[in-house]
């Protein structure tokens, strides 16, 4: 009934309108669109411009100096710390950064770091901000005699790796200026060092990414020593080994020397810890080292020589100290004091 009543009312109104002197049309008001909520601006953080990712690497093309450019690899990550290895043709430097909502700080650096040693637990020896929050134009900080400031959030930069929109950071001292350009999700894209006299040195990103996916993990060529099948001499061979983030050289060597081909270490032997000095390398193994090496004096002697020469050559030391759970090495055939140095054969 309700539908018929409404329909009848509409017909009556139309007839009524047709009998008037002016024609009128019925129109429905157009509803005004609902206002869209304002979009919140994306708040970028320091980790957007300083990515901490396993197996990531960056390769740079250098200009203006023979040691410009090079490669950076992510060696170790634990908690809010990351260790990067910087190679520039002159030396390898391991740098430990601490990352927080306040910024990225360089807290430890070790020059001539060729041996993939984890320094993340080292006590901080410095506190230099590499990038500081808040990420906005005008943010400033100091490292030594250099005053740093964020000068732009949208600087266009073109390098061999592509074109990026970058955050620009400038550091100024009495004599020099340093410009750094960071891209979201990439990291450092470009660095320019400008001396007072006008000389310029540049690092320009040419390649970056996940080294495992790209087939571009950092590699080392190692010399491995092991007993001959007849147990009458020491054999050696070179082998190129690649490293993922988190893998130390000492642990890699321990694993390799357990392989069927070499049989230098038994499957249950563990490397508990190690310490490298300028001249010597101290290795501290679990007690299984003695029980699993004890296979006749000739074989045991060759295995000990294999350990000394493989580890000593890989770590660039003149001697190796073999400890067993913090004490000297003593089996039925050999005995070495806790601090006795076994010479590496050159």
CA nearest 64: which of 196, 197, 193, 205? 193
Mean predicted confidence (pLDDT) in 274-282: 96
Q: With 70 as the cut, is the pLDDT of residue 297 above it?
A: yes
Q: Is the pLDDT of residue 275 over 60?
A: yes
Dihedral angle computed from the Cα positions of residues 311, 314, 318 and 322, in that order, rounded to the nearest 10 degrees: -10
pLDDT band at 41 (very low <50, low <70, confident <90, very high): low
Beta bridge partners of 224: 237
Give dist(CA 95, CA 97) in Å, integer: 6
- Name beta bridge partners: 98: 81, 105
294: pLDDT confidence band, cut at 50, 70 and 90? confident
Taking alpha carbons only, the member of 176, 173, 178, 179 closest to residue 196 is: 176
Please give the share of the chain, as a percent, with pLDDT higher than 70. Answer: 88
Instruction: Say which residues have a Cβ less than 8 Å from residue 265's Cβ, sequence separation at least 6.
Output: 254, 257, 258, 289, 292, 303, 307
Q: What is the pLDDT of residues 307-335, one digit of tens each?
A: 999 999 999 999 999 999 999 999 989 99
Position 13 scores a pLDDT of 32
pLDDT tens-place string over residues 43-82:
789 999 999 999 999 999 999 998 899 999 999 999 999 9
The contacts of residue 167 (CB under 8 Å, 6+ apart) are 49, 135, 150, 152, 153, 155, 181, 182, 183, 184
Whole-structure pTM value = 0.86
In the predicted model, what is the mean pLDDT of the chain? 90
Comparison of pLDDT for 19 and 128, the residue scoring more:
128
- Residue range 206-230: mean pLDDT, rounded: 97
Residues 6+ apart with CB under 8 A from 293: 266, 300, 303, 304, 331
Q: What is the pLDDT of residue 29?
A: 54
Residues 278, 240 contacting (CB under 8 angstroms): no
What is the pLDDT averaged over residues 22-27? 42
pLDDT at 38 over 50: no
Residue 28: predicted pLDDT? 52
pLDDT at 37: 53
Q: What length is written for the chain? A: 346
Burial 179-196 (b: 16+ CB within 10 A, else e): bbbbbeebbbbbbbbbee
The angle formed by the CA atoms of residues 199, 181 and 77, to the nearest 5 degrees, is 115
For 267-309, the DSSP string reads TT--EEEEEE-SSEEEEEE-THHHHHH-S-HHHHHHHHHHHHH
- pLDDT for position 6: 36
CA-based R_g, the chain, Å: 34
Q: Is beta strand 319-324 parallel, antiparallel or unpaired with respect to 280-285?
A: parallel
What's the angle, vertex CA 198, arms to CA 192 and CA 201, rounded to 5? 30
- At 346, the pLDDT band (50, 70, 90 cuts) reads low
Percent of the chain with pLDDT over 90: 83
Domains of the chain by range and CATH? 46-214 (2.40.360), 219-343 (no CATH)
Helix/strand/coil for 41:
coil
Would you place residue 89 in the very low, low, confident or very high pLDDT band (cuts 50, 70, 90)?
confident
Q: Inform me whether the pLDDT recorded for 175 exceeds 70.
A: yes
Q: How confident is the model at residue 14 (pLDDT cuts 50, 70, 90)?
A: very low
Residues 6+ apart with CB under 8 A from 178: 146, 170, 171, 172, 191, 192, 193, 194
């Amino acid at each position: 009934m309700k539908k018929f009543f409404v329909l009848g009312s509409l017909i009556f109104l139309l007839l009524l309108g047709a009998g008037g002197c002016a024609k009128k049309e019925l129109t429905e008001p157009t509803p005004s669109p609902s206002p869209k909520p304002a979009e919140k601006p994306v708040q970028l953080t320091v980790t957007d411009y300083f990515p901490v990712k396993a197996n990531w690497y960056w390769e740079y093309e250098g200009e203006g100096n023979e040691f410009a450019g090079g490669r950076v690899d992510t060696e170790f990550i634990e908690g809010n710390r990351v260790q990067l290895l910087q190679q520039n043709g002159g030396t390898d430097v391991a740098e430990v950064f601490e990352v927080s909502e306040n910024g990225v700080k360089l807290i430890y650096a070790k020059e001539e770091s060729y041996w993939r040693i984890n320094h993340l637990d080292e006590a901080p020896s410095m506190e230099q901000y590499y990038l500081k929050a808040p990420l906005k134009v005008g943010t400033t900080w100091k490292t030594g005699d250099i005053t740093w400031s964020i000068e732009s959030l949208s600087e266009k930069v073109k390098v061999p790796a592509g074109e990026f929109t970058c955050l620009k950071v400038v550091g100024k001292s009495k004599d020099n200026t340093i410009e750094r350009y960071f891209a979201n999700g990439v990291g450092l894209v470009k660095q320019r060092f400008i001396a007072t006299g006008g000389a310029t040195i540049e690092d320009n990103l040419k390649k970056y990414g996940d080294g495992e996916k790209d087939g571009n993990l950092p590699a080392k060529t190692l010399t491995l020593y092991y007993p001959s099948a007849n147990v009458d001499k020491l054999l050696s061979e070179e082998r190129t080994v690649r490293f993922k983030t988190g893998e130390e050289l000492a642990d890699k060597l321990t694993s390799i020397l357990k392989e069927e081909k070499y049989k230098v270490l038994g499957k249950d032997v563990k490397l508990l810890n190690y310490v490298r000095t300028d001249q010597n390398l101290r290795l501290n193994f679990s007690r299984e080292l003695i029980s699993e090496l004890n296979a006749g004096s000739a074989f045991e002697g060759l295995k000990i020589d294999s350990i000394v020469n493989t580890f000593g050559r890989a770590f660039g030391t003149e001697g190796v100290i073999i400890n067993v759970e913090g004490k000297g090495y003593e089996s039925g055939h050999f005995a070495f004091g806790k601090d006795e140095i076994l010479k590496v054969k050159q």
